[in-house]
Amino acid sequence: MKIGLPTFLRTTTFKLALLYSAMFAAFSAVLMVYLYYSTVYYIRAEAERRLDLEFEQLGNAYFTGGMERLSQSVLERMTRTGSTYFYYLEDSSGGKIAGHFQLMPVPLTEASSRTVYFDFNQPLPDGSFVVRSAAGKIVRLRDNGGALLVAFDAAQQTAIVRRIQRAIFIAAPIGIVLSLLGGVLISRGAARRADELARTAEAVMGGELGRRVPVRGSGDEFDRLGQRINAMLDQIEKLVDATRHTGNAIAHDLRSPLSRLRNRLEIALSQPLSQEDASATLNETVEEVDRVLTTFNAILRLARLEAGAEGERVRMDVSELAEELAELFDPACEEAGLAFRSQIARHLTILGDRDLIGQALSNLLDNAVKYTPAGGTISFTVTRGPDGTIDVVVVDSGPGVPADQRKRVVQRFQRMDSARTQPGSGLGLSLVDSVAEMHGGQLILQDAGGPEGQPGLKAVLRLPRA
């Protein structure tokens, strides 16, 4: 049976943590090598410099006073307080002349000068010995055949190197373990957030359309992703709810015209008709069919609009468009016995689709004309709104829309019961709301401030100014 790894061990975060740990280990190794060689090199270079200085001074003594003067200089240096050097001088026969050691601690070769490393026993006050490490140079004396050794105690150098090694060997594993532990913790957190996204997606796929991704308020990438997904789920839920109600709403709104159409045709078929009656029946039938087609065309356009398949935003003068609509609706209001007033600020521009904005404003004005009783008033204004917006406001003195119904009336095929007797499909405000959302604006419905029972409706289409 195949055993799968825990989820967090398969995450990209954990893999990055492993890579980071490997890089840290490599960095530690390089750092150790660098510290080792830089420290040892510096110590040895400094020791070499001081050795060269010692040999230079002892060489001067030898060249000026021979072996006797050299021997005297070695003895003086041996007794110098604080000296860290060791000396050994022998003659051509190998006999000791002066020095710290009983015998030459390293064998001689034919080379005139060479670097040597050796261990020696250093006596302690209690009579015991301790092994010490030393490094130095041996030089054969010209004209004499003797040899001179100058060395220094390498214990300090060795201690420093060992301390560096010990520090790195201790710190490196701790750093690697901490990086792995941090990677595991971070990976578990990331895997947990990813699991939340996956569980939410599975729940939504299972039909829980109200399920949302938890947002913790940290502002990290998971929160931002969760907010985008939640916004998408809100839109999906809205569309699904609209789709669920669409069938019933279509049946409810189209039943009457289709029933009238069928009854009219049955009557026409049940009895002979004169030319005038037949023509009138066909005209009425065409009108009913046109209303049905208008409804379906509105459905199609709204669907394309919500899918983003319609609309091309360009810089346009909404004031000019509003003036054209005001001129168009003024006689329509007069014919319906309504007072129409317009107040339009000039040169207000937006980035929008002229046809869609025009359709939205026409729907608002058409609704106002349709639902305002004779003798009422309709006001149409275009002004600068708050925070760099443009407010297109249509106010009527009709029955208005109750506050608890305002969210519902902007949905597809949602009409108030009092509006069922009026021609229409229930798509007008839904299209206006979709146009507003597409342009980054909003549709606001409010009471117009009229008397009780006839408060009127104030519809504000708020759009961002270009």
- Considering only the top CATH level, what class is 314-464? alpha beta
Helix (H, G, I), strand (E, B) or coil at 70: helix
Q: Please state, in angstroms and rounded to a whole number, the distance separating the CA atoms of residues 146 and 27.
A: 50
DSSP string, 356-385: HHHHHHHHHHHHHHHHSPTT-EEEEEEEE-
What mean pLDDT is reported for the chain? Answer: 81
Pick the more confident residue, 12 or 249.
12
Closest listed residue to residue 378, CA positions, set 367, 387, 388, 389: 367
pLDDT of residue 301: 63
Rounded to whole angstroms, what are the CA distances from 362 to 322, 392, 432, 436? 9, 12, 9, 14
Where are the domains positioned within the chain? Answer: 14-160, 237-306, 314-464
Q: Which helix or strand (DSSP H or E) is residue 342 part of?
A: strand 339-344
Q: How confident is the model at residue 5 (pLDDT cuts 50, 70, 90)?
A: low
Helix (H, G, I), strand (E, B) or coil at 343: strand
Give counts: helices (H), strands (E), the chain.
8, 12
Among 87-91, 164-168, 364-368, the range scoring the smallest mean pLDDT is 164-168
**198-223 per-position pLDDT tens digit:** 888 888 888 888 888 888 887 778 88
Give the pair of three-digit tokens for residue 144. 């004499």
pLDDT of residue 317: 94
Give the pair of three-digit tokens for residue 61. 């003594």
pLDDT of residue 420: 45
Domain 237-306 has CATH 3.40.1190.10: no
In contact, 381 and 393? CB cutoff 8 Å = yes
Which of 12-16, 261-265, 318-322 has maximum average pLDDT?
A: 318-322
Measured on CA atoms in the order 343, 347, 351, 352, is the torsion positive or negative? Answer: positive
The answer on pLDDT for 82 being more than 90 is no
Q: How confident is the model at residue 1 (pLDDT cuts 50, 70, 90)?
A: very low
| Axis crossing angle, helix 221-270 with helix 275-306, rounded to the nearest 10 | 170
Give the pair of three-digit tokens for residue 416. 């108030």
Q: Please state, in angstroms and rounded to a whole number, the distance separating the CA atoms of residues 74 and 357.
A: 106
Helix (H, G, I), strand (E, B) or coil at 88: strand
Q: Please state, in angstroms and rounded to a whole number, the distance separating the CA atoms of residues 156 and 40.
A: 11
DSSP string, 266-322: HHHHHS---HHHHHHHHHHHHHHHHHHHHHHHHHHHHHHHHTT-S---EEEEHHHHH
Q: Please state, in angstroms and rounded to a whole number, the distance separating the CA atoms of residues 324 and 358.
A: 10
Q: How confident is the model at residue 377 (pLDDT cuts 50, 70, 90)?
A: very high
Q: Please state, in angstroms and rounded to a whole number, the distance separating the CA atoms of residues 137 and 119.
A: 14
Q: How many other CB atoms are found less than 10 A from the CB of residue 302?
A: 21
pLDDT of residue 29: 74
Give the pair of three-digit tokens for residue 71. 């021997």
- Considering only the top CATH level, what class is 14-160? alpha beta
In contact, 353 and 301? CB cutoff 8 Å = no
pLDDT of residue 249: 59
**259-310 per-position pLDDT tens digit:** 777 887 787 778 787 788 778 878 888 887 877 777 677 666 666 666 555 5
